[in-house]
Chains A and B, each alone.
Chain A
Amino acid sequence: MDDRRRDDRPSVSRRSPWWWVIGLAIAALVVIVLAPLASPDPDGLERVAEDGGFIERAQEALYEILPDYSIPGIDDPFLSTVLAGLIGVAVVFALMVGLGKLLARRRPPGERV
């Protein structure tokens, strides 16, 4: 009780322990709604590489898992891109949470919220 009063900083977990689900849902929405609408044109560097004549220096990847943000074998381009994107979102989220848990400091007893 005493501990609770001491921590008057705005608390993340007090408002909703599931807020990160909303954040993850926003990332998923970006993949589902916006990624399929992405401009097909080469990005700035690739465009300059084409115009500047050094695009042919690019080498093929050694192996392919989800090349070009698509799933090999899924022919529907929308499904292929969206599923590949969702896999990416899940993988980077899990990787970062795992790494964060390894690195983060526990709050001292009584400081935990």
Chain B
Amino acid sequence: MILASIAGPTLTGGGALQLHTPDGFLSPAVALVMWAVTAVIVAIAVRQTNKSLDERAVPLMGVMAAFIFAGQMVNFPVAPGTSGHLLGGVLAAVLLGPWAGTLVMTAVVTVQALLFQDGGLVVLGANIFIMGIVGTLGAYAAYRLLAKVLGGEARGRIPAAAVAAWLAVMGGALSIGLMLLASDATTLETMGFILGVHALIGIGEAAITVAALIFIQATRPDLFSLRDAFDPMRVRVAQGA
């Protein structure tokens, strides 16, 4: 059965496994602006991570990057002739914090472009912006807000992450849509299709994010404490006590 499915068109050439925006979709001007914006925000993420990352979280950063890379390879069907795949930004940010989460997404998307020719090099800044910034930083802000409304992270983690994961995909779709519009590549009507199809993909994103978080909650709930483990204030208090 497995043999039958692996002989499918994905792997036998023809249908190419491309997950991210290729070069040419965006105009050079739009691609350049996105490179500049992304470079600034990633630099901030590096600084913030340097300030707050607990060394015990380092292996989890590696595992998150590995899992998100692997998960993105698994396209799931969302409509006839259309598939979607994991983004992973909310999962990374909930576990590692928004800044380290952004760095994980940046690393994954960069390796996909450089090594796997998935996503163009000229539009790499745009792809990092879509997945690592909008889909991670932005979605994490939504997650925190939702968790607060739901009575705190311990109680609201799963539903907040589900909604934030859906919003991450929609935010990413909206950003690529706007970039395509700015590049004169598409019309408002097409933009509606982009959002429509990603509303379905976002449900898959929410399901995978929730499944992964429930798995971690059941097996290693201590991993949730890594995100804020290195809080200089708390260390000082602990030492004074």
Q: Which residues of B contact A47 (CB under 8 A)?
A: 81-82, 197
Give min CB distance, A18 to chain B, whole Å: 10
Indicate whether A38 reaches chain B with its CB closer than 8 angstroms: yes
> Chain B 67-85, CB within 8 Å of chain A: the 1/0 string?
1111101111110011111
Specify which of A6, A63, A96 is in contact with B238 (CB 8 Å cutoff).
Answer: A6
Indicate whether B168 reaches chain A with its CB closer than 8 angstroms: no
Q: How far is the CA of A38 from the CA of B237 in the complex (A)?
A: 50
Indicate whether B115 reaches chain A with its CB closer than 8 angstroms: yes
Tell whether, in the assembled complex, residue A103 and residue B74 are in contact, meaning their CB atoms are under 8 Å apart.
no
Tell whether, in the assembled complex, residue B117 and residue A111 are in contact, meaning their CB atoms are under 8 Å apart.
no
> Chain B 102-139, CB within 8 Å of chain A: the 1/0 string?
01100110011011111011000000000000000000
Indicate whether B23 reaches chain A with its CB closer than 8 angstroms: yes
Given A12-B222, A43-B85, A111-B235, A78-B66 contact (CB < 8 Å): no
Given A24-B63, A59-B24, A89-B117 contact (CB < 8 Å): no
Tell whether, in the assembled complex, residue A30 and residue B71 are in contact, meaning their CB atoms are under 8 Å apart.
yes
Indicate whether A108 reaches chain B with its CB closer than 8 angstroms: yes
Which interface residue of A7, A28, A64, A103 has the most chain B CB atoms within 10 A?
A: A103
Tell whether, in the assembled complex, residue A41 and residue B2 are in contact, meaning their CB atoms are under 8 Å apart.
no
> Chain A 62-105, CB within 8 Å of chain B: the 1/0 string?
11111111100000011011001101111111111101110111
Tell whether, in the assembled complex, residue B226 and residue A92 are in contact, meaning their CB atoms are under 8 Å apart.
no
Give min CB distance, A105 to chain B, whole Å: 5
Given A44-B201, A61-B117, A95-B111 contact (CB < 8 Å): yes
Given A11-B222, A65-B116, A97-B61, A38-B104 contact (CB < 8 Å): no
List 25 A–B pairs whose Cβ atoms lie within 8 Å, in order of A's numbering.
A10-B221, A12-B222, A28-B70, A35-B73, A35-B74, A38-B76, A40-B11, A43-B19, A44-B84, A44-B201, A48-B190, A48-B193, A61-B120, A66-B115, A85-B70, A88-B69, A88-B70, A92-B107, A95-B111, A100-B62, A103-B53, A103-B103, A104-B57, A107-B230, A111-B239
Chain B: residues with CB nearer than 8 A to chain A? 2-3, 5-12, 15-19, 21-25, 46, 49-71, 73-78, 81-85, 100, 103-104, 107-108, 111-112, 114-118, 120-121, 173, 176, 180, 185-187, 190, 193-194, 197-198, 200-201, 220-223, 225-226, 229-230, 235, 238-239, 241
Given A41-B82, A100-B53, 18 other A-B residues pairs in contact with their CB atoms under 8 A: A9-B225, A20-B60, A24-B63, A27-B63, A36-B6, A42-B82, A54-B180, A54-B185, A58-B25, A61-B23, A64-B117, A69-B116, A90-B66, A92-B111, A96-B104, A97-B59, A99-B61, A110-B239
